[in-house]
Structure 1
Amino acid sequence: MKKIDETSPLRLRPVALEDEAAVRSATCELAAEGFTFAFGLDTASSFADYLAGLEERRQGRNLAGAVPETFLLAEVDGKIVGRLSLRHALNDQLRTNGGHIGFGILRAHRRRGHASEILRQALILARDLGLERALLTCNESNTGSRRVIESQGGVFSGHSPADPTKRLYWIALA
């Protein structure tokens, strides 16, 4: 994947086989905070099968009720600092929890602007997919995510009818 911004040290890229240890470690770290780093990754699956599943979802094949999604790692100076999940469409569940864009930053890399840069680049990718606006959600208590979303043009549109602690934001892409 080409770098979206040549001036930014943060690069979004697909997951590779050699990322297995880092992705599994990040998944465990963020699970302790109640956050999913790598959706669908479990200890019983081979990492190669997991990567094949990511590619299937990106291409919109074998979705079983899910939507097409691009999952990318965020890397700075060769280190994984976070991840991006970019859903190409919404289903009922994503309209109330999840939205088009989800991002996460590993604990050691927070408060350095990485989340804002991931979201900025994600909005470019979402526009390239043909989306006119993007939905993002965050927990009421997650002031860091709220600030990031609002800094990138997120307009608060209320709370999720399915979960009143979940804030809904729309960002215009046109």
Structure 2
Amino acid sequence: MSVTNESYEPLTAGVRLRPPRASDERIVRAAHREMARDDGFDFALGLAPTMSWPEYLATLENRRRGINLPAGIVPETFLLATAGDEVIGRASIRHTLNDYLRRRGGHIGYAVLRQYRRCGYGTQILRRSIPIARQVGIGDILITCDDTNTGSQRIIESCGGRLESTPTWSDGTVIRRYWIS
């Protein structure tokens, strides 16, 4: 049986983006460990193992407001993606770009937890991130992904991403640079 994206719409229609709450600590720390182990990817941006949860939430608020930013970090809005009561992923909307983000990171980064992949959630997370990027003043939105990440390519293209270029990094990684107007 072939399943189309349309059949996922009722499942993904309830995806919401929201700031992390005090009650999210356990699931966010578990997701952070899982993605680091399985994908070599940070789920909870800026979360250090020894950081208390209230300290982390304050750090996220400071990042959103552009206060006390570490070197190389730009103002950003970090949001959890939920479906019902389940955390399914996250989004990071960077309000501005530095040199690194202009080349490789872009304005929006998103992640879907392994057990929720290939169900249309990534598309919904990106789709819901775009209006938030517009609210913080971003016109044309840059989004990048590795050339080998066909899932992200499909997600970005389905959300209106137009491929600009595919530069190769010094480590041999090919990056796909997309723009959403």
Tell whether the structures are fold-level matches, with TM greater than 0.5. yes
Paired position in structure 2 for 1:24: 29
C-alpha RMSD of the superposition: 1.4
Q: Secondary structure at the match of 1:45?
A: coil
CA positional deviation for 1:88: 0.5
Paired position in structure 2 for 1:3: none
Would the alpha carbon gap of residues 140 and 161 (structure 1) be closer, same or farther in structure 2, given more than 3 Å must change?
closer
Paired position in structure 2 for 1:39: 45
Q: In structure 1, what residue type is equivalent to 2:13? A: S
Name the CA distance, whole Å, in 1 between partners of 2:64 and 2:168.
28
Q: Which of the numbers 62, 69, 72 marks the counterpart of 2:68?
A: 62
Q: Which of the numbers 156, 160, 177 marks the counterpart of 1:168?
A: 177
Q: How does 1:127-138 map to 2 (within 5 A)?
A: 127-138=134-145
Q: Secondary structure at the match of 1:51?
A: helix
Name the CA distance, whole Å, in 2 between partners of 1:42 and 1:130.
30
User: Is the 8 Å Cα contact of residues 67 and 91 (structure 1) preserved in structure 2?
Assistant: yes
Name the CA distance, whole Å, in 2 between partners of 1:39 and 1:64.
12
CA positional deviation for 1:37: 0.5
User: Is the 8 Å Cα contact of residues 168 and 174 (structure 2) preserved in structure 1?
Assistant: no
CA positional deviation for 1:161: 5.6
Q: Secondary structure at the match of 1:97?
A: helix
Q: Find the structure with the greater CA-based Rg.
A: 2
Paired position in structure 1 for 2:18: 13
CA positional deviation for 1:160: 3.9
Paired position in structure 2 for 1:105: 112
Q: Which structure shows the higher helix fraction?
A: 2
Paired position in structure 1 for 2:125: 118
More moved, 61-70 vs 134-143: 61-70
Q: Which of the numbers 97, 102, 117 marks the counterpart of 1:90?
A: 97
Q: Secondary structure at the match of 1:30?
A: helix
Name the CA distance, whole Å, in 1 between partners of 2:52 and 2:174.
35
Q: In structure 1, what residue type is equivalent to 2:55? A: D
> Is there any run of 5+ residues in structure 1 with no aligned partner, and where?
1-6
Q: Percent identity, aligned pairs only?
A: 48
Q: Secondary structure at the match of 2:105?
A: coil
- TM-score normalised by structure 1 residue count: 0.91
User: Is the 8 Å Cα contact of residues 103 and 115 (structure 1) preserved in structure 2?
Assistant: yes
User: Is the 8 Å Cα contact of residues 96 and 162 (structure 1) preserved in structure 2?
Assistant: no
> Is there any run of 5+ residues in structure 2 with no aligned partner, and where?
1-11
Name the CA distance, whole Å, in 1 between partners of 2:86 and 2:101.
30
Residue deviations 1:25-45 (CA, integer Å, cap 9, x gap):
101111121111011112111
* Count of aligned positions: 166
